[in-house]
Structure 1
Amino acid sequence: MALECVGGAVLSSFLGAVFQKLASPQVLDFFRGTKIDQKLRKDLENKLLSIQAVLDDAEQKQFGNMQVRDWLIKLKVAMLDVEDVLDEIQHSRLQVQPQSESQTCTCKLPNFFKSSPLSSFNKEINSNMKNVLDDLDDLASRMDNLGLKKASDLVVGSGSGGKVPQSKSSVVESDICCRDADKEMIINWLTSDTDNMLSILSIWGMGGLAWVCVSQEFDVLNVSRAILDTFTKSIENSDRLEIVHTKLKDKLRGNRFLLVLDDVWIESRPKWEAVQNALVCGAQGSRILVTTSSEKFASTMRSKEHELEQLQEDYCWKLFAKHAFRDDNLPRDPGCPEIGMKIVKKCQGLPLVLKSMGSLLHNKSFVSDWENILKSEIWEIEDSDIVPALALSYHHLPPHLKTCFAYCALFPKDYVFHRECLIQLWMAEKFLNCHQGNKSPEEVGQQYFNDLISRSFFQQSSKYEDGFVMHDLLNDLAKYVCGDIYFRFGVDDEGKSTQKITRHFSVSIITKQRFDGFATSCDDKRLRTFMPTSIEKLPDSVCNFKHLRSLDLSYTGIEKLPESTCSLYNLQILKLNYCRCLKELPSNLHELTNLHGLEFVNTKIIKVPPHLGKLKNLQVAMSSFDVGKCSEFTIQKFGELNFLHERLSFRELQNIENPSDALAADLKNKTHLVELEFEWNSHQNPDDSAKERDVIVIENLQPSKHLEKLSIINYGGKQFPNWLSDNSLSNVMSLELNNCQSCQHLPSLGLLPFLKNL
């Protein structure tokens, strides 16, 4: 069985997963135990090996040849279809296994799981396998016509295979070089005297000259509300434009302001004038600074214009060298700088491209590697929106990073994503190869994420400290290599005829369209990721999503999850954060044996499934737990769960009748909980026995030593817990003691060396 890349094949992540499943005990057992032609399995293996040999050449040629690109996308779909078939086989054997191990088992299995050579399930697998082989035969027959070469025929070293040195931490982006003249011009404009009530400056230049993303839709109401929110530091929910503009005028009237409009993409002058009319109430000297990628859009603003030109040659070299060499004293051939100068000339003075190429070459020590990049055919691609240098940077990523980067095609432009959330999604798709010593999947994901940052594929958001973004050009690149396998409803709607290949589906939060089902959007039976933001009810047909790995229903109006959700045996991540109407979870959620991430932060859930502790790998994120409202899931059950969310509030603690239940919660070992709130009912009037019980309860709720923020509210005991004064919480920075009326003495706060807020 071939488990290694041939010639640095870039689809090795897909093929490796398929080969491993073909060799799994469940699959081998299935083919041995049925009359399905075992030759199918061998034919599949051989066909994959023959196609694998040309993958590296196809990945390189896809940027200049749309036929090759379409061939690659169809191949990826075929790989996913193969995985789906093998997943169904594995699941069927795992369901049968308990029956064979115990003759006394009384569980009832669906008929298609029973070992009958003529069963409908076996016939379905046989049919699906033949369909996949037909697809692969068709793809293999086109390889010669597309001029695809086998890895053995390619120049050694020109591909993306081989061991990749470990990259260093990301480059700090705080310093902006080579733009002194531009900065001086802007400062002069800001500080100059003018008789105009409102002065506007548009800075324009092609994407890549600055790290500026372009918003595809200029919606007057949304833009106006965003401006009002910025000035009021609150959220405006009105859908009436006149109300928003009246509030905005009242806020600005008589005040001088500076407003920066980033990412502007607008061709309609009336739309801009509709926004501008609400901004003319400011005092004399008010300024609006606009960035855009087109002179045409800048002229729409009727503003003073400043073109951001390409960097001069010597500045280009400085920026490139900063990323390529990084003062790390890595040994390199002396000819590398000379080759680097030639590569810099191909970057067309674009900072984004210079950073990307520098980051790529940082990990290559030999002049032959630099020459291969200089002579790559990808530089010559034409008639494409993809910047050649970025395509080249992508091509030279190791296979695992290519797969992880391409997943971001699911995100719309300007989307701010979080490190932990993206790593979760990678984990659900089995993108994280954990054959690296004792590293956990999370640690491997952190390494992959940092590698993509260091190569300039991700950048920290300027708006959110813990958020990250991709440049528009890189978003286009991810979408290009994935096609409609990753589909963004409300963004990619032009390709309706090809949506049946979709496996990862998201609904844009800014779309005006209401998502009302899957029939016209994608094949729900093959869906792997579902990230909607505009539905109010999840249909019972969700049970059809057999191959779903990630289901994110956060911020939606759903009131409950159907019990059929518990049949999604591949589901690994379920997110229900900020579902304000959600009150309960399915009682059999523990049947999702692959589930490792469950989040329901800021919901109204008062009933937690009682057997979640059976899922030993499950990590739970919730914001609060009401002891008084949950009889089936008592506080001691927390001892069985692992928490991934940093904050948790325990309420109605007076309802704990047995203090040993609090001890069983085992908060001392919940190291991810860095913020805790303990709250009793403010209307209680505890007697002496209740006060004594409260003392024992809070003593048993001792947090871990990693706690940073603690609140104790309406506590009825006469003394604070000993763990608050014995130096076991030395990391606490914030402490709230609210309405603890029976306590006569404060704890020894001098033992909290990092305490800042009391």
Structure 2
Amino acid sequence: MEIGLAVGGAFLSSALNVLFDRLSPHGDLLNMFHKHTDDVQLFEKLGDILLGLQIVLSDAENKQASNQFVSQWLNKLQTAVDGAENLIEQLNYEALRLKVEGQLQNLTETSNQQVSDLNLCLSDDFFLDIKKKLEDTIKKLEVLEKQIGRLGLKEHFVSTKQETRTSVDVKSDIFGRQSEIEDLINRLLSEDASGKKLTVVPIVGMGGLGKTALAKAVYHDERVKNHFGLKAWYCVSEPYDALRITKGLLQEIGSFDSKDVHNNLNQLQAKLKESLKGKKFLIVLDDVWNDNYNEWDDLRNLFVQGDTGSKIIVTTRKERVALMMGNEQISMDKLSTEASWSLFKRHAFENMDPMGHPELEEVGKQIAAKCKGLPLALKTLAGMLRSKSEVEEWKRILRSEIWELPHNDILPALMLSYNDLPANLKRCFSYCAIFPKDYPFRKEQVIHLWIANGLVTKGDGIIKDSGNQYFLELRSRSLFERVPNPAKRNIEELFLMHDLVNDLAQIASSKLCIRLEESKGSHMLEESRHLSYSMGYGGEFEKLTPLYKLEQLRTLLPIYIDFKTVGLFRLSKRVLHNILPRLRSLRALSLSRYMIKELPNDLFIKLKLLRFLDLSLTWIKKLPDSVCGLYNLETLLLSSCDYLEELPLQIEKLINLRHLDISNTWRLKTPLHLSKLKSLQVLMGTKFFLGGLRMEDLGEAQNLYGSVSVVELQNVVDRREAVKAKMREKNRVDKLSLEWSESSSADNSQTERDILDELRPHKNIKEVEITGYRGTNFPNWLADPLFLKLEQLSIANCKNCYSLPALGKLPFLKFLSIRGMHGITEVTGEFYGSWSSKKPFNSLVGLRFEDMPEWKQWHVLGNGEFPTLENLSIRNCPELSLETPIQLSSLKSFEVSGCPKVGVVFDDAELLRSQIEGMKQIEELHIRDCNSVTSFPFSILPTTLKRIGISGCRKLKLDPPVGEMSMFLERLSLKGCNCIDDTSHLRARSLSVYKCHNLTRRFLIPTVTETLNIWNCENVEKLSVACGGTQLTSLSIVGCKKLKWLPERMQELLPSLKDLELSNCPEIESFPEGGLPFNLQQLHIYNCKKLVNGRKEWRLPCLRELSIYHDGNDEEIEHWELPSSIKSLSISNLKTLSSQVLKSLTSLQYLEIAGNLPQIQSMLEQGQFSSYLHLTSLQRLQIVDFPNLQLISESALPSSLSQLDINNCPNLQSLSVKGMPSSFSKLYIHNCPLLTSLLEVNKGEYWPEIAHIPTIQINYECL
């Protein structure tokens, strides 16, 4: 507990406010008891006691840090008030239920009298039970009330007035660090004199000094960007987790895909090492705490094969970490007095001129000095003082005793800033302790959670707007900071808290808000009220089992950290059926991103106090009817539920529902009865189908937020009808989609234009989509520069339009897509608009043209248009030619597909040179289906190009260059280019050749290629290697039907080969003389019958992974002598298999057996799997496609086994589950129909024996 920090009481204050609201004399609750006078008196007594406790609460908060008895009293009060709140909330639920039932009985006007009349349906036992619970609650509170005097607590009334502050855009400032920035940049750009490939530069300093800010400033510097071929940033933080770090770095460099989700650490580290090999990279490891040298050495080994000049920046607070990682550390000093004052002044005097307030300036300089040169302290404290204009207010901060108290890493400035917060902001800030460190959270989500837990005071307007003001207030005080959103085209803002601010929130929440992974013992869990946990792939049963006893839990929030991908996870049925229903006090529940198809109906009967329910990104088809009984529900999120088809018919029962999000629910049509949700303030993602709904319905919907779609616009008759939509008034809609049916035709083009003109959105719009518009030209609003927030625009299938609007005038447009515009023949100067100062399309990042069959000319202004364009895509525009160069100095990616006349450019060296000489930053080029391309002049392409893909260019030839080819690519892909006959001269780290049927019989492997894929090249017969050898590490050959020979002398010429795949190459007869390279680690052979038959010895001492699709004689496999180094073995299409084959595999961890073994009925038959017990390292066993297998006995399984997978064994009817190894943690059984009923949850014969297994999947459903 930190001295001087008022903690915990903020949540008590919130709970008391809820209770006072419910106990209002004229509310539904007391009216329900109006005939039970004794109960009414008890309610009044409860209110009096709570009021007496509330007026000493502020004093108790201030004294608890220095008085352990007051602290204990507050903890007991928290428990007692929580109990009282739950009781009152349950009673209030009954009052709401009676109110709703009264409405459904068609009472003309549901009144309090009608609520009290309806209570006749409640039994006398109900009221007796309530009376007893009330009396018990009052007794507990009376005991605490009597202790007030002995504890010396004084009455203290806190003003509820809140200061008005600005929603200033808090910028990232670096003051006084220019020398450190230049020093770090120089270190990164300089080459090591000793030729060392990898240099680690640690930045060390105490928390709040700006280590991360310094690293960010350098990371984004243009000089640094241009120097390194690959950059990645990853926040390590605590606890140290090698698997998480490896996955994160793979995601950062773009090498992580969905197949990697279930890979183990060794596989992922091998992939990361391979991805970095030979590249000059810069990696930032931010916030490193771990000082275990062995773990650091293991991590560093992943980077050592990078190119010379690769660098790693490490930020850390620990000197020991810095010394361990590198000897060229940068030690961060505190800011100078001058820099400290500049930073403080920039934030504290945002709204005033310091020269006009000399008294404040004098005190401010003294306060800045007390911050001791720490940027975080300066910004936070200055942010707090920004709105205080009285000198005494500043002096009170200067004279505070907190400056002199011990603070154990929580800066005094942060403590002062927290204590200065009004009570409502204290509780909202403290609640954010449920977020992990370095977790980027969404503003919308945070506000919803605050509201659900009663932390936002109800005002006269929309409660969400109040929550937004709270959030902006905390941000203005630098407690929240905005961070970039890594998801492409996602304009949603993300925020996080500095580590020290996060520590402050944890202390302020007084263990009420915790992260499950960081909880220490069951006692800490039992004290918690709000809990988050990191999502995982195991179904969550084992992780969430400790929640069984948490009956007081108010928030359960799964956390998914990676915003770059749409991660989806399974959730155990045992969690849904057994754990969640016990959490009856829940106010906020998120099941987002879980692959749930169906929710149990009784779940929401138990969780009747829910106010926030997030089911977004789930697989549900419909909501259970019990959802309609959540009368307290205020927020329901259903966005991106791709399978959701309908909402419950009685959704109108949700009388408190304020916020409903149904955006991106493609199968859901907006129900007509949503209009009956009288409390609805925010409706997101609505689809208005004009026909079932009228324009008047759209106009009357004043609660629309987020995205709105208006479909079937061909049903709108004229301008007068379109006016009724009132689109210009809908200032909270940020995405508008307007759609006409493609099958419809227009009678009057002017009428169509008038209709679209009246559908002009409010100026706050951020994204517009227009599809199937039937007019011949567009209204002027589409290019109105007053749309200052418009960032994305899509125009599609407007086939009658013959011109494009002047979209170049939109000042902040970032992404533009134009598709299916069949009437466009030219893109003229009109497209750019007339500008006086700014360049046309001055903010555009991405531009896409597609399916424009008549487009012939693209007129170029040559005035520096598209100055920020990074991605250009032109698809299926067969008549377009690009004869006039377009100067695109920022372009990074260029795609041309199905544009034969554009392809001609690549045949004309001079024309191509004029087109690309302005592309100074081009990195990626894709050419598809351009049959006119006959040559490709690599020699004149810019050296910035890293990735090239060419497909469907059937006439393309690649002539060897004169002299050595200078360009070196990261990746080159050639597909369906039938005239290419030689690739040996190409210089690419990764080369993929697909369906190039004219490749010569002898395929010469390029010397610099490290990853080579040759797929479906039917005329290749032999692979060869140049005399000097190659750097090849991975070779994949698939579908080369005539291939007979692998390269000779592979051990000598391919010493670096680690991964070899041979698939569907039936003519390969043998490995080369001398065998495969000794260093080979992964070998995959499928449908290569001649190669596998007759094989006995493998002679691969380093082999770790072997996969074979066997198609040989039954006896031959018995003679295999497999390397003992193998850790993963997959054998498919077996006809026989003896455990004798596996006897040497003492390191085996994963075994998959799949094939036709019709004679096998038991896993214990003589000679057939008679024992896996000697496989003492085996962790996972996968059995697939055994048509007659009937029995698997536990005696066949080794004690080390942790996972068993059984798939497609239709006659398997017995699984001895009693003797499962104690290490067993995962059971997957799919397509074994005779076992399904035996494994059914709570019903099946086997269930009692397997119920303890953390992860169980039956027929792809997580139990």
**Same fold at TM > 0.5:** yes
Q: Are the equivalent residues in 1 in contact too, given 2:769–2:795 (CA < 8 A)?
A: yes
Q: Are the equivalent residues in 2 in contact too, given 1:324–1:361 (CA < 8 A)?
A: yes
Q: Are the equivalent residues in 1 in contact too, given 2:749–2:776 (CA < 8 A)?
A: no
- Given residue 440 of structure 2, which amino acid in structure 1 is its aligned partner? V
Q: Which residue among 46, 49, 52 is the counterpart of 2:51? A: 49
Q: Which residue among 383, 402, 418 is the counterpart of 1:359? A: 383
* Counterpart residue number, 2:164: 166
- The superposition leaves residues 275-334 of structure 1 with CA deviations (integer Å, 9 ceiling, x where unpaired) of 433322321111111112323443453564333233445544544444444471589997
Q: Structure 1's 315 and 136: CA in aligned 2 closer, same or farther, altered over 3 A?
A: farther
Specify which structure has the higher proportion of strand. 2
* Counterpart residue number, 2:61: 59
Aligned positions of 1:373-392 closer than 5 A: 373-374=397-398, 376-379=400-403, 381-382=405-406, 386-392=410-416
Per the alignment, in what secondary structure is the counterpart of residue 526 of structure 1?
A: coil
* Counterpart residue number, 1:672: 732
* Counterpart residue number, 2:201: 201
- The superposition leaves residues 329-368 of structure 1 with CA deviations (integer Å, 9 ceiling, x where unpaired) of 5899977666656655654543222332333344445555
- The superposition leaves residues 214-237 of structure 1 with CA deviations (integer Å, 9 ceiling, x where unpaired) of 732333333223223322387565
- The superposition leaves residues 622-662 of structure 1 with CA deviations (integer Å, 9 ceiling, x where unpaired) of 5585969xx988998656645655444566x4996999999
Q: Are the equivalent residues in 2 in contact too, given 1:730–1:751 (CA < 8 A)?
A: no
Q: Structure 1's 170 and 625: CA in aligned 2 closer, same or farther, altered over 3 A?
A: closer
* Counterpart residue number, 2:761: 705
- The superposition leaves residues 36-68 of structure 1 with CA deviations (integer Å, 9 ceiling, x where unpaired) of 343323332332232223222222234455654
Structure 2 residue ranges without an equivalent (≥5): 1-8, 213-234, 553-582, 819-1263
Distance in 2 separating the partners of 1:326 and 1:666: 38
* Counterpart residue number, 1:544: 606
* Counterpart residue number, 1:467: 494
Q: Which residue among 184, 187, 190 is the counterpart of 1:186? A: 184
Per the alignment, in what secondary structure is the counterpart of residue 263 of structure 1?
A: strand
Q: Which residue among 113, 129, 132 is the counterpart of 2:134? A: 129
- Scaled by the length of structure 1, the TM-score of the pair is 0.81
1:119 to 2:124 alignment: yes
* Counterpart residue number, 1:480: 507
Q: Are the equivalent residues in 2 in contact too, given 1:214–1:293 (CA < 8 A)?
A: no
Deviation at 1:467, TM superposition (A): 1.7
Per the alignment, in what secondary structure is the counterpart of residue 733 of structure 2?
A: coil
Q: Are the equivalent residues in 1 in contact too, given 2:482–2:495 (CA < 8 A)?
A: yes
Distance in 2 separating the partners of 1:421 and 1:507: 16
- The superposition leaves residues 49-106 of structure 1 with CA deviations (integer Å, 9 ceiling, x where unpaired) of 3222322222223445565445435434544444444444444345445778999759
Considering Cα pairs closer than 8 Å and 6+ residues apart, tell me whether 1 or 2 has the greater RCO: 1
Aligned positions of 1:684-723 closer than 5 A: 691-692=746-747, 703-706=759-762, 707=765, 709-714=767-772, 717=774, 719-720=775-776
1:423 to 2:451 alignment: no
Aligned positions of 1:651-670 closer than 5 A: 653=712, 670=730
Q: Are the equivalent residues in 2 in contact too, given 1:113–1:121 (CA < 8 A)?
A: no
* Counterpart residue number, 2:533: 507
Q: Are the equivalent residues in 1 in contact too, given 2:617–2:640 (CA < 8 A)?
A: yes
* Counterpart residue number, 1:5: none
Q: Are the equivalent residues in 1 in contact too, given 2:14–2:454 (CA < 8 A)?
A: no
* Counterpart residue number, 2:1073: none
Distance in 2 separating the partners of 1:321 and 1:671: 35
Q: Are the equivalent residues in 2 in contact too, given 1:583–1:605 (CA < 8 A)?
A: yes
Q: Which moved more, 1:285-294 or 1:442-451?
A: 442-451
**Rg (Cα) greater in structure:** 2
Aligned positions of 1:176-325 closer than 5 A: 176-194=174-192, 195-210=195-210, 212=212, 215-232=237-254, 237-239=259-261, 240=263, 241-302=265-326, 304-313=328-337, 315-325=339-349
- The superposition leaves residues 670-722 of structure 1 with CA deviations (integer Å, 9 ceiling, x where unpaired) of 4433433445677x5x6xxx55599989976753332554434455x4x3487
Distance in 1 separating the partners of 2:474 and 2:633: 27
Distance in 1 separating the partners of 2:211 and 2:142: 44
Structure 1 residue ranges without an equivalent (≥5): 1-8, 153-159
Distance in 1 separating the partners of 2:444 and 2:640: 18
Distance in 2 separating the partners of 1:370 and 1:527: 42
Distance in 1 separating the partners of 2:101 and 2:618: 40
Q: Structure 1's 750 and 658: CA in aligned 2 closer, same or farther, altered over 3 A?
A: closer
Specify which structure has the higher proportion of helix. 1
- The superposition leaves residues 551-574 of structure 1 with CA deviations (integer Å, 9 ceiling, x where unpaired) of 223344555432212211111111
Distance in 2 separating the partners of 1:332 and 1:181: 32
Distance in 2 separating the partners of 1:525 and 1:611: 29
Q: Structure 1's 224 and 110: CA in aligned 2 closer, same or farther, altered over 3 A?
A: farther
- Scaled by the length of structure 2, the TM-score of the pair is 0.51
Distance in 2 separating the partners of 1:693 and 1:36: 74
Distance in 2 separating the partners of 1:211 and 1:51: 45
Q: Structure 1's 16 and 266: CA in aligned 2 closer, same or farther, altered over 3 A?
A: same
Per the alignment, in what secondary structure is the counterpart of residue 309 of structure 1?
A: coil
Distance in 1 separating the partners of 2:236 and 2:146: 41
- The superposition leaves residues 597-634 of structure 1 with CA deviations (integer Å, 9 ceiling, x where unpaired) of 12233345435544111114425665585969xx9889
Distance in 2 separating the partners of 1:728 and 1:359: 37
* Counterpart residue number, 1:410: 434
Distance in 2 separating the partners of 1:236 and 1:303: 38
- RMSD of aligned C-alpha atoms? 4.5
Distance in 1 separating the partners of 2:273 and 2:456: 52
- The superposition leaves residues 405-439 of structure 1 with CA deviations (integer Å, 9 ceiling, x where unpaired) of 2232232222222333333333444544455xx75
* Counterpart residue number, 2:650: 588
Q: Are the equivalent residues in 2 in contact too, given 1:606–1:626 (CA < 8 A)?
A: no
Aligned positions of 1:89-128 closer than 5 A: 89-96=91-98, 114-115=119-120, 119-128=124-133
Per the alignment, in what secondary structure is the counterpart of residue 43 of structure 1?
A: helix
1:574 to 2:572 alignment: no
Q: Structure 1's 299 and 672: CA in aligned 2 closer, same or farther, altered over 3 A?
A: same
Deviation at 1:544, TM superposition (A): 1.7
Per the alignment, in what secondary structure is the counterpart of residue 551 of structure 1?
A: strand
Aligned positions of 1:596-611 closer than 5 A: 596-603=658-665, 605-606=667-668, 608-611=670-673
Deviation at 1:747, TM superposition (A): 6.8
Q: Are the equivalent residues in 2 in contact too, given 1:526–1:547 (CA < 8 A)?
A: yes
Distance in 2 separating the partners of 1:557 and 1:268: 43
Distance in 2 separating the partners of 1:131 and 1:284: 74
Q: Are the equivalent residues in 1 in contact too, given 2:334–2:373 (CA < 8 A)?
A: yes
Q: Structure 1's 395 and 243: CA in aligned 2 closer, same or farther, altered over 3 A?
A: same
Per the alignment, in what secondary structure is the counterpart of residue 611 of structure 1?
A: helix
Distance in 2 separating the partners of 1:301 and 1:727: 55
Distance in 2 separating the partners of 1:41 and 1:539: 35
1:614 to 2:676 alignment: yes
Per the alignment, in what secondary structure is the counterpart of residue 250 of structure 2?
A: helix
- The superposition leaves residues 372-402 of structure 1 with CA deviations (integer Å, 9 ceiling, x where unpaired) of 4455454455586644432232122112221
Per the alignment, in what secondary structure is the counterpart of residue 38 of structure 1?
A: helix
Per the alignment, in what secondary structure is the counterpart of residue 232 of structure 1?
A: coil
* Counterpart residue number, 1:456: 478
Deviation at 1:252, TM superposition (A): 3.1
Q: Structure 1's 371 and 727: CA in aligned 2 closer, same or farther, altered over 3 A?
A: closer
Q: Are the equivalent residues in 2 in contact too, given 1:504–1:528 (CA < 8 A)?
A: no
